[in-house]
Amino acid sequence: MSNPPIPVITIDGPTASGKGTVAQRVAQHLGFHYLDSGALYRLTALSVMRRDISLDDEHALAKAAEHLHCHFNGAHIFLANEDVSNDIRVETVGNLASKIAAIPTVRQALYGLQLSFRQHPGLVADGRDMGTVIFPHAGLKVFLTASVEARALRRYKQLIDKGFSANMEDLSKDLTERDARDSNRSSAPLKAAEAAYLLDTSAMTADQAVAQVLEWYAAAKALHAQSE
Ligand code: DC
């Protein structure tokens, strides 16, 4: 008898839509592993910045992604053995991540690493192409959105909480530019997977969004059990 497949829930959406918070909490609730795929692009960007690799040097960018020495320990993210959890969250790193993420060879270099997060008893993965490219057979796919205003405010609070300075106008402009870049690239653009449930969290608390995803997951599991 073959082993049952390891369940996967994908949560895709634009930057600062709250998908990270929701995905982590859903994973925690179900006792599943969690993949923050954006962190892999951010780690690559940080590594590229530190090594002064030019954005035109596609080969070197892909190599940096391929040889990313990173590991995750709870909320802490390490590059080599340095805790870079805060360093990767600054806007310059996020913007560079969005730029290098448009390069197909960089995406390809991170493909296997992302798949390796699928481990028992299950995985919740968040990003831009989790449901469309990386885990196209996921049992539940969610596309999480929120208005630019709501997202800019969330990002503002996150940055201030972490002790960074921030400006709402710059953040809104940044988010809009990043959305356009992530949505219009030809390789794995940000878009909802065909079977994805859409969740607009502009007027929702994180608790409400988490409860909705868990409800969809329970329904998807019941449906799957019925069809077996
Ligand atoms: O989710 P985030 O803001 O941490 O992601 C940073 C950038 O990485 C984002 O602007 C686009 C890119 N990214 C991607 O292209 N594909 C993913 N699955 C996750 C992130």
Ligand 1 centroid to 228 CA: how many Å?
36
Atom of ligand 1 at shortest distance to CA of 15?
3
Residue 218 lies in a domain: no
In short, whether 127's Cβ falls inside 6 Å of ligand 1 is yes
User: pTM (2 decimals)?
Assistant: 0.93
Measured from the Cα of 114, ligand 1's closest atom is 18
| Measured distance CA(38)–CA(163) in Å, rounded | 21
What pLDDT digit, counting tens, does each position of 2-54 carry?
Answer: 677 899 999 999 988 999 999 999 999 999 999 999 999 999 999 999 999 99
The predicted model gives 69-87 an average pLDDT of 94
Decide if 148 is inside a domain. yes
Residue 224 lies in a domain: no
Predicted confidence (pLDDT) per residue in 183-224, tens digit: 888 888 888 888 999 999 999 999 999 999 999 999 999 887
Q: Ligand 1 atom 3: the closest Cα is on which residue?
A: 15
* Helices 37-50 and 104-115, axial angle in degrees (round to 10): 130
Residue 222 falls within a domain, yes or no? no
Which of 11, 17, 36, 37, when mutated, tests ligand 1's pocket best, judged by the most ligand atoms within 8 Å of its CB? 37
**CATH code of 81's domain:** 3.40.50.300
Query: Ligand 1 centre from 178 Cα, in Å?
Result: 9
* 97 in contact with ligand 1, CB cutoff 6 A: yes
User: Hey, what are 7's tokens?
Assistant: 């369940």
Q: Considering the domain boundaries, does residue 228 fall inside one?
A: no
**SS3 readout for the chain:** CCCCCCCEEEEECCCCCCHHHHHHHHHHHHCCEEEEHHHHHHHHHHHHHHCCCCCCCHHHHHHHHHCCCEEEECCEEEECCEECCCHHHCHHHHHHHHHHCCCHHHHHHHHHHHHCCCCCCCEEEEECCHHHHHCCCCCEEEEEECCHHHHHHHHHHHHHHCCCCCCHHHHHHHHHHHHHHHHHCCCCCCCCCCCCEEEECCCCCHHHHHHHHHHHHHHHHHHHHHCC
CA distance 102 to 186: 8
Is residue 94 lining ligand 1, measured as CB closer than 6 Å?
Answer: yes
* Residue 220 is assigned to a structural domain of this protein: no
The answer to the question of residue 202 being in a domain is yes
Residue 221 lies in a domain: no
User: Can you give the residue range of the structural domain that contains 163?
Assistant: 8-213
When divided into structural domains, the chain yields a total of 1
Cα–Cα nearest to 140, from 212, 84, 77, 207: 212
